């Protein structure tokens, strides 16, 4: 180490008198203290978890697009986002099948999406198509949750579309509006 012997002369062999050298060593303790204080400050002030961006593609609203294909009702699932964090879903056209009310999350929507996705895959041989229809009473969190479920369950195609009056009636009837 770069420490110089400063224990004072006297034991030197030969008894030569040397000029006493001052130590070149600086006490770094205070400096380290300061540095760690600043580190703590910067660690606490920086945001550790950066917000994430969830990409969302909306269907083109342009009526002029010609390559619109009709969608088979048997493989389309409609999600109606209602009030009080409730979601109603049905497969096919509104009115023909009775909707089921469910909550968001692992045991509600996610289970249904996985089950129905498999069923549709088996019966038609094609992937399921999900239509997300938020009502005016649903909030932003509901929409983000729904899209997140799509990403988790690996639904290949989904779209956010406007809710139809007939579907609003369904929500109202079930007390979710």
Question: For binding to another protein (CB under 8 A), which residues are involved?
Answer: 1, 3, 27-29, 31-32, 35-36, 38-39, 42-43, 45-47, 49-62, 81, 106, 134-145, 147-148, 151-152, 160
CA 62 to chain centroid, in Å, comes to 30
If the CB atoms of residues 148 and 174 are measured against another protein, the closer one turns out to be: 148
Q: How far is the CB of 63 from another protein (least distance, A)?
A: 13
Q: How far is the CB of 147 from another protein (least distance, A)?
A: 7
Half-sphere exposure of 104 (CA within 13 A, CB side): 20
Q: Closest Cα to residue 137, out of 74, 78, 89, 84? A: 84
If the CB atoms of residues 39 and 166 are measured against another protein, the closer one turns out to be: 39
Q: Rg for the chain (alpha carbons), in Å?
A: 34
Q: How far is the CB of 124 from another protein (least distance, A)?
A: 24
If the CB atoms of residues 38 and 72 are measured against another protein, the closer one turns out to be: 38
**Is the CB of residue 128 less than 8 Å from the CB of residue 136?**
no
**Is the CB of residue 113 less than 8 Å from the CB of residue 149?**
yes
If the CB atoms of residues 47 and 122 are measured against another protein, the closer one turns out to be: 47
Q: How far is the CB of 74 from another protein (least distance, A)?
A: 26
Q: How far is the CB of 85 from another protein (least distance, A)?
A: 11
How far apart (Å, rounded) are the C-alpha atoms in residues 91 and 79?
A: 9
If the CB atoms of residues 120 and 150 are measured against another protein, the closer one turns out to be: 150
Packing angle, helices 140-153 and 109-124, rounded to 10: 50
């Amino acid at each position: 180490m770069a420490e110089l012997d400063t224990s004072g002369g006297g034991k030197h062999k030969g008894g030569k008198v040397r000029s006493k050298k001052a130590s070149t060593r600086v006490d770094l303790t205070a400096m380290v203290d300061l540095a760690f204080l600043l580190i703590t400050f910067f660690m606490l002030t920086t945001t550790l978890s950066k917000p994430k961006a969830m990409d969302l593609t909306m269907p083109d609203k342009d009526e002029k697009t010609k390559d619109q294909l009709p969608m088979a009702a048997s493989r389309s699932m409609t999600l109606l986002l209602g009030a009080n964090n409730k979601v109603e879903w049905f497969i096919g056209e509104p009115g023909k099948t009775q909707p089921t009310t469910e909550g968001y999350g692992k045991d509600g929507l996610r289970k249904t999406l996985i089950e129905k996705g498999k069923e549709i895959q088996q019966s038609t041989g094609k992937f399921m198509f999900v239509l997300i229809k938020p009502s005016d009473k649903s909030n932003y969190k509901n929409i983000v949750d729904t899209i997140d479920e799509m990403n988790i369950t690996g639904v290949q195609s989904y779209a956010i579309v406007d809710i139809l009056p007939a579907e609003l009636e369904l929500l109202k009837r079930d007390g979710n509006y």
